[in-house]
Structure 1
Amino acid sequence: MIEEKPRLCEEQYFNDFYIKNVQSATNFAYYKCGDSDAALDLVQDAFTKIWENCAQIDFNKVKTYLLTTINNLFLNTIKHKKVVFQYEKEVPNLDITNQNPEYLLEEEEFKLKLQNAIASLSESQREVFLMNRIEGKKYREIAELLDISQKAVEKRMSAALKILKSQIENI
């Protein structure tokens, strides 16, 4: 007894099945993901899986297999996006440009220049600058903490910024 090739593996039958079902499959995928490009990708991947596994699929249940495959592919993309999102949450400051050694060297040089420039400020200027730029305090809060006027804080900050600007280009 010669085993017959399943009808789904016949190119003409598969093409007919594709033409008959591609629109409804695309609609189904679109309703799932809400993105027409992603929906087309899901549908194409699903039809590819059907073609690759045509010998194992009962051609009487192929429409169900198609929709189930689209649904599973969609769920897999959601799972993948969750993993990517979780990773981005855990490693938020990973900067691709940091891979460049030249960039790292320039960054180190800039940090050194900045540290030296901050060190060259008078104690009162440095105190106001760091409270504002590092701790994020407002001039009013700094004035209260140091028991000086807000105008004095503004004057110290202005002087600090002038010194920093003169010592470091592009700041």
Structure 2
Amino acid sequence: MADQNQHEQHLLFALSQSDECAFAEIYKTYWKLLHDTAYKRLGDEDQAKDVVQDIFVKLWDQRETLAIDNLKAYLQTAARYQVYNLIAREKVNDTYFKYLASFETSLGGADQHVLYSELQERFGVILNKMPLKRREVFELRYEEGLSTHDIAEKLNITQKTVQNQLIKAVDSIKEALFMLFLLLAFLFRSI
């Protein structure tokens, strides 16, 4: 156990010095454990891989400033944290869609058509205002159904960049549509 701890500390020191071999060894040693941790909670292979990728990207990005006593515990905690953040974001997205569905059931046919057309128009405007790469990433993910890994390969960018662009795209869409939902809720309650 002491030898394992010493070896981890040696790896962490080497990592802090930007030693790519140390990073590769950490990656090989802990990838499966982190993947299994994420997959057990998410039940989705692509999302689990994305979580693990995020963890290792952050580990590399913060290598010079990290103070880790127990690498295994640190990485497992990071995996759980990433999973919880992902679930929380999805629940927020779910709330908007449930809210929209409640409008559908309470509106008549003509009103539904007007609402749907307005939402489509607003969505198009939001997409067109996005930077070109962000819009391309968003469309590849949500219209073509590609994984973040596949998008990264197709666009020759990192998976982390893909994830960051998706988060920014979804946040801007949620913000714009939320204001429309509030306005519609106010209008329909006063009718």
Q: Which has the higher contact order (CA 8 A, sep 6+)?
A: 2
Structure showing the higher helix proportion among its residues: 2
For normalisation by structure 1, the TM-score amounts to 0.50
| Structure index of larger Rg | 1
